[in-house]
Amino acid sequence: MDTYQPFPLTLVRGKGCWVWSSNGKRYLDAVAGIATCSLGHSDDGIRRSLTRQLNKLQHVSNLYQIPEQESLARWLVDHSCTDKVFFCNSGAEANEAAIKLARKHGHTNRGIEEPIILAAKGSFHGRTLAAVSATGQPKYHKGFEPMVKGFEFFEFNNLQSLQSLIHKLEENAPHIAAILIEPLQGEGGVKPGEKKFFYGLKELCKDHELMLIFDEVQTGVGRTGNWWGYEKLNIEPDAITLAKGLGGGHAIGALLVKEHANLFKPGDHASTFGGNPFASKAGLTVVSEIERRGILKNVTERGNQLKEGLNKLVSTFPNQLKEARGWGLLQGLVLRNESSFNAQDFCNAAINEKLLVVAAGPKVIRMVPPLNIKANEVSEIIKRLQKTLNLLV
Ligand SMILES: Cc1ncc(COP(=O)(O)O)c(C=O)c1O
């Protein structure tokens, strides 16, 4: 169906940070499957490990115990602030699970008949009906009304806005179950959360017994230079949703919860494919390889290098570029409102320079390369961005 408008570019092969088109041209990939191919393309570690898994067992269903799933769940709880894991297949699905969990918390722990979940304006939580209803961007709702009810929105990084919404909704009796929020808004324009705001938000959650759910679908699994985006903000959520980078290019999603938020009982939620041996092995290989090769350090160093290069571009093109912002290897180059081209025009032009980048809204060019990108490849991204800018101005 006509759900995508792809670039006129057919990619047929990849290695590391590079991909090749059907006509043999080589592109530097700063999209990485939209923050997904954590270890780049055709990584030897993933290839070997998943080939072995394909030869052993692919899928059996959650009717049986799955050692690969248990090992991945064990790794995730050992390396985060959480205690239990539910596996699914995508970010939207992980958020659907979190929304159901939040409603259960509202019903069982706060005695609310119709629990409300608060989310941020400008957020993105996925395209399934509840996840898109939780998404604070009206353009994604258009044509699909009525949205799922029970979501209210506040301004991201604006404590006053959150406080007044909570006070309005909780004035007479409990009505709110949870806050669902990205630590850094990805699709909404690569906007990092501010510590002061999140500290206040956490206090409000404690005061009102609200479940705090971090959507770390884009920020999780090393993308920011820490394992989890919440580490950048120095607060711990009650639940975390993951997908994208966890599978290194293979479909897997997860909902991680602290023990007190471990509210699902047998029969409450399920997924046929969720956490199958193949997907779990993919996740397990990604996290073990990131650990074994010291890739988090690389993300911080290469992220700093990328940010520095982007800042130089901002000084070189002050009439077109406003700022560079982001964490680790999740960086955005923000266009000025007066710029003669938008982010999509830029992505199209970059293809001529054999560089793949992706828009995050109309004004932000997003770079989310593989986490194991090398210093010379980051320099090459900057060079190709500069050439693209020269083409456009
Ligand atoms: C923060 C966030 N949440 C959820 C999603 C949806 O993930 P998926 O496309 O895997 O359903 C995305 C995808 O871009 C995302 O960035």
Are 284 and 311 in the same domain?
A: no
pTM above 0.95, yes or no: yes
Alpha helices in 79-215 (DSSP H): 91-110, 129-133, 159-169, 195-208
Are 246 and 330 in the same domain?
A: no
Single residue among 271, 292, 313 that ends a domain in this structure:
292
Are 143 and 193 in the same domain?
A: yes
CATH (domain of 129): 3.40.640.10
Mutate which of 129, 187, 216, 240 for ligand 1 pocket (most atoms within 8 A of beta carbon): 187
Single residue among 270, 292, 314 that ends a domain in this structure:
292
Are 331 and 378 in the same domain?
A: yes
Residue 90 CA to ligand 1 centre (angstroms): 7
Range of the domain at 201: 45-292
Single residue among 273, 292, 311 that ends a domain in this structure:
292
| CB of 130 closer than 6 angstroms to any ligand 1 atom | no
Whether 277 is covered by a domain: the verdict is: yes
| CB of 177 closer than 6 angstroms to any ligand 1 atom | no
Whether 29 is covered by a domain: the verdict is: no
Closest ligand 1 atom to Cα of 92:
11
How many separate domains does the chain show?
2
Nearest CA to ligand 1 atom 7: 91
Are 198 and 157 in the same domain?
A: yes
Are 178 and 219 in the same domain?
A: yes
Closest ligand 1 atom to Cα of 253:
10
pLDDT tens sequence for the chain (393 residues) = 999 999 999 999 999 999 999 999 999 999 999 999 999 999 999 999 999 999 999 999 999 999 999 999 999 999 999 999 999 999 999 999 999 999 999 999 999 999 999 999 999 999 999 999 999 999 999 999 999 999 999 999 999 999 999 999 999 999 999 999 999 999 999 999 999 999 999 999 999 999 999 999 999 999 999 999 999 999 999 999 999 999 999 999 999 999 999 999 999 999 999 999 999 999 999 999 999 999 999 999 999 999 999 999 999 999 999 999 999 999 999 999 999 999 999 999 999 999 999 999 999 999 999 999 999 999 999 999 999 999 999
Are 165 and 232 in the same domain?
A: yes
H or E, element range at 240:
strand 239-242
| CB of 125 closer than 6 angstroms to any ligand 1 atom | yes
Whether 170 is covered by a domain: the verdict is: yes
| CB of 187 closer than 6 angstroms to any ligand 1 atom | yes
Long-range contacts for 13-18 (Cβ within 8 Å, ≥24 apart)?
A: 13/41, 13/42, 14/40, 14/41, 14/42, 15/40, 15/41, 15/42, 16/40, 16/41, 16/42, 16/43, 16/370, 16/372, 16/377, 17/41, 17/369, 17/370, 17/373, 17/374, 17/377
| CB of 92 closer than 6 angstroms to any ligand 1 atom | yes
Are 75 and 138 in the same domain?
A: yes
Mutate which of 125, 140, 223, 366 for ligand 1 pocket (most atoms within 8 A of beta carbon): 125
| CB of 219 closer than 6 angstroms to any ligand 1 atom | no
CATH (domain of 387): 3.90.1150.10
Are 160 and 301 in the same domain?
A: no
